[in-house]
Amino acid sequence: EPEVTQTPSHQVTQMGQEVILRCVPISNHLYFYWYRQILGQKVEFLVSFYNNEISEKSEIFDDQFSVERPDGSNFTLKIRSTKLEDSAMYFCALRAGSYPYEQYFGPGTRLTVT
C-alpha cells in the first residue's frame, strides 16, 4: 500500500491569510487528489492533478485554491485568502495500482481558520 504523508498535521491561521498544505507521496506517482471534510460532514472532492496539470475540479475549487507540484515530489494545495468556512480536514490522495484504480489517502491536515 502506497504511503502518503501530509504536513502540517494541524494548521491554525487567521482569516484572510494564505496557507499551503503539503502532500508527500513516498513512491513515484503521477495522479493526485485533494479532498476536504468539514467537521461532521461528508468527504468532498476538490481537485485532481495529473502530470502537472489539473485534470478535474469541483465547484468548491474556486480561484482561491491552487495546486502545484513544485519540485516533482511534494504536491501542494494553496488557499490564497482563507475564510472561516475553509476550516476542515484536507486529505491528499494518490491513485495507484492498475485499472480499476484504488486511491490511497494521507492522514490529513486539520485547518482551523479563526
Partner 1 sequence: DAKTTQPTSMDCAEGRAANLPCNHSTISGNEYVYWYRQIHSQGPQYIIHGLKNNETNEMASLIITEDRKSSTLILPHATLRDTAVYYCIVSSGYSTLTFGKGTMLLVSP
Can you give the binding site for partner 1, defined by CB under 8 A? 1, 4, 33, 35, 37, 42-45, 48, 56, 89, 91, 93, 99-108
Alpha-carbon distances of 48 from 26, 39, 52, 87, 114, rounded to whole Å: 18, 22, 10, 20, 28
| Residue (17 or 24) nearer to partner 1, CB | 24
| Residue (1 or 71) nearer to partner 1, CB | 1
| Residue (1 or 14) nearer to partner 1, CB | 1
Minimum distance of partner 1 from residue 81's CB (angstroms): 25
